[in-house]
Amino acid sequence: MKLLEEDMTISIKDFLNISIIKQARVKTSINTLSLRPIESISVIEIPVENFVRQNELVLSTAIGCNNAPEIFKEFIRDVFESGASALAVAVGGHVKKIPKEVIEYAEKLQFPIIEIPWDIRFADIMEAVLAQLNSRQQANLKCFEDLQKQLLTYYLNGSTLSDAAELIRQALGNPVVIVNTSGTLKGTSNKAEEFINSLTPCLLELLSDIDEGSFKKYNSEESCLIFRIQSGNILYGYLFLKSATDKTSKDHLINKKANIIRHVITPITLWFNREQAIYETEMHMRDDFVWNLAKGEIDSWDDVSSRAKSIGYNLSTSYVCIVGLLENMEEAYKTQKSNSTSYEQWLYDNIKNIKAQILRIGTYLKRAIMTTYQQDRLVIFLEVTNEESKESINRFLDLIEEKLKKLYCGIRISWGIGENHIGVKLFHKSFTDAKIALEVCYNQKGPGYRSTYNNISIYRMLSAVSSNQEVQEMIKLTIGKLIEYDIEHGLDLINTFKIYIQNKGNVSQTARALHLHRQSLLYRLKKIEVITNLSLENSDDLFLLDICVRLWATQTNTHS
């Protein structure tokens, strides 16, 4: 079964064999007749404009061209440039004979001109051509349906994707390569070695997590056709089909793209659906394992190590825990206008995609990754070494943010990074570090920042002190009235003081930071002094105010 040999089109040579036009005479370009396909037929007179389609057989009486060779040549040129297969002119009516110079002009263009007798009705010709086209299309569709049935049988019998790729090659006559979204080969047909080598740069770009649009240059239809293997919103991979070497076969392949998608890509998706079901079961097991590891809910470390090996994890290397918070996902959902039934379903599907992207980036960086998504947080254990931990972590997070911001418009990501701990018993400690670092960073700076556990030493010290009863009394006595004033009047004096301290007491810089006139800022600073009965010019008073504000903020963040 070769679908290229049972094409949906007919050629000019086939057309000339139709009984109704046996008396037709070809005047030009005789050697190209078998190479010129007919996909449609129409009747056109001057002017041509944009009424002719590609590979269309044009019938005409050439009215207005009699005794006007230049007009006739212009008519032929317009039909030729429209991509028509040939021009069939009814002679004996408006045109008694096609002039020699017109025939010579068409011969230079290598464009077939056919003379048909005036007494043959165009309607009869069109009916005969359309009947042949329909017959070819039905035969072509039957071949594709047979191919689809064979692919389904292969799937049910447990055949591999390479078996399926070879069946497609036998049907279409061209090598086939099937890959997943990471560029990993899942199935190849016979005689595909050279084709695979030519695809290597494209597959490497997929593996390196470069955006899909970057390999569109490979989908030029000159070298190959690329088909997305997709189910709903889930992209599984790609089917690469090598283009034919000759133009006619290449055009036939391009014309079959819709049938290939419907009858070939759809059953191929079944293999990926089955693999996805197995993968999701494994991912669920890995999610539970990583979450238990993070929480420290482990009975026996020997059992943990054994279970880790069974699901492909190596716990003997050094890991650092990273906890991430994703925000504005709902905005991304609205922007994408997803077909999912609800935001919750969309989020569920896309969290799986995000985890897959993280694993791909880990593969690209040659780093072991363990990840899960729990309690609205991404939990990632990244393999690092002591010598390069900071640089490799930031590189890793940069790649994640770059990819996710392309996929989800407006997304904001905050990160907390734990300490680098070696040994299975310290995974929980690293997770706790990362979680605290995220919470502190988020409360202090807002969304979109990163913080390591080491960077929050001051907060940890203040947190320990702020719970002391005497310290709490001191805070209330020092800035209690200031807090009450802010609540009642909304002047935000506490924040004004924070910015003043950050700018080292420089009034002009503080005013600019707060977008205030200098006099307005001076009024606020004086108000702070009056309410607290402390002087901002006195270093001890200034220190007392600063420490109390920091302790109060720590208490507030802890309660939050």
Q: pLDDT per residue over 332-364, tens digit each?
A: 888 876 665 788 888 888 898 899 899 989 988
Question: Is the model's pLDDT at 417 over the cut of 70?
Answer: yes
Instruction: Tell me if 395 sits within 8 A of 365, measured CB to CB.
Output: yes
pTM of the model: 0.58
Per-residue pLDDT band for 206 (boundaries 50, 70, 90) equals low
Q: Is the dihedral of CA 436, 441, 446, 450 positive or negative?
A: negative
* Angle, helix 427-445 to helix 266-295, in steps of 10 degrees: 100
DSSP 542: H
- Considering only the top CATH level, what class is 159-275? alpha beta
Residue 87's pLDDT is 96
Mean pLDDT on 65-77: 92
C-alpha 468: how far from its chain's center? 53
Q: Which residue has the higher pLDDT, 267 or 213?
A: 267
Q: Do domains 296-455 and 467-559 have the same CATH topology?
A: no
Residue 103's pLDDT is 94
How far apart are alpha carbons 492 and 144 in whole angstroms? 72
Question: Is the model's pLDDT at 426 over the cut of 80?
Answer: yes
Question: Is the model's pLDDT at 288 over the cut of 90?
Answer: yes
* Architecture of the 467-559 domain: Orthogonal Bundle (1.10)
Instruction: Tell me if 124 sits within 8 A of 59, measured CB to CB.
Output: no
Per-residue pLDDT band for 455 (boundaries 50, 70, 90) equals confident
User: Which alpha helices (H) appear in 47-160, and where do they start and end?
Assistant: 69-81, 100-109, 122-156
Question: Is the model's pLDDT at 223 over the cut of 60?
Answer: yes
How far apart are alpha carbons 226 and 195 in whole angstroms? 13
Q: Kindly list the domain boundaries of the chain, sorted by start residue.
A: 10-131, 159-275, 296-455, 467-559
Residue 231's pLDDT is 84
Question: Is the model's pLDDT at 3 over the cut of 60?
Answer: no
Mean pLDDT on 435-451: 83
94-98, 153-157, 553-557: segment of lowest average pLDDT:
553-557
Q: Which residue has the higher pLDDT, 372 or 231?
A: 372
Question: Within 13 Å and on the Cβ side, how many CA atoms surround 245?
Answer: 3
Residue 327's pLDDT is 92
Residue 422's pLDDT is 54
Q: Which of 223-227, 303-307, 424-428, 439-443 has the highest mean pLDDT?
A: 303-307
Residue 34's pLDDT is 87
98-107, 109-118, 226-235: segment of lowest average pLDDT:
226-235
Residue 436's pLDDT is 85
Residue 388's pLDDT is 65
DSSP 31: G
Residue 211's pLDDT is 46
CATH topology of domain 296-455: Alpha-Beta Plaits (3.30.70)
Question: Is the model's pLDDT at 419 over the cut of 90?
Answer: no
Which helix (H) or strand (E) segment holds residue 200: the answer is helix 193-207
Per-residue pLDDT band for 535 (boundaries 50, 70, 90) equals very high
Mean pLDDT on 202-216: 56
Per-residue pLDDT band for 212 (boundaries 50, 70, 90) equals very low
Residue 71's pLDDT is 94
Residue 334's pLDDT is 85
Beta strands in 175-316 (DSSP E): 176-180, 185-188, 224-231, 234-242
DSSP 243: P
Residue 6's pLDDT is 47
Q: Residue 352: is it exposed, middle or buried by C-beta count within 10 angstroms (0-12/13-18/19+)?
A: middle
Residue 207's pLDDT is 57
Question: Is the model's pLDDT at 502 over the cut of 60?
Answer: yes
What confidence tens digit (pLDDT) does each residue in 389-404 have? 788 899 999 999 999 9
Q: Which residue has the higher pLDDT, 479 or 454?
A: 479
What confidence tens digit (pLDDT) does each residue in 456-499 have? 777 767 767 777 888 888 989 999 999 999 999 888 899 999 89
Residue 531's pLDDT is 93
Mean pLDDT on 62-81: 93
123-127, 131-135, 216-220, 248-252: segment of lowest average pLDDT:
216-220
How far apart are alpha carbons 536 and 496 in whole angstroms? 13
Question: Is the model's pLDDT at 554 over the cut of 80?
Answer: no
| 10-131 homologous superfamily | HprK N-terminal domain-like (3.40.1390.20)
DSSP 400: H
What is the overall mean pLDDT for the chain? 86
Distances (CA, A) of 282 to 228, 275, 286, 288, 326: 25, 11, 6, 10, 24
Q: Which residue has the higher pLDDT, 199 or 24?
A: 24
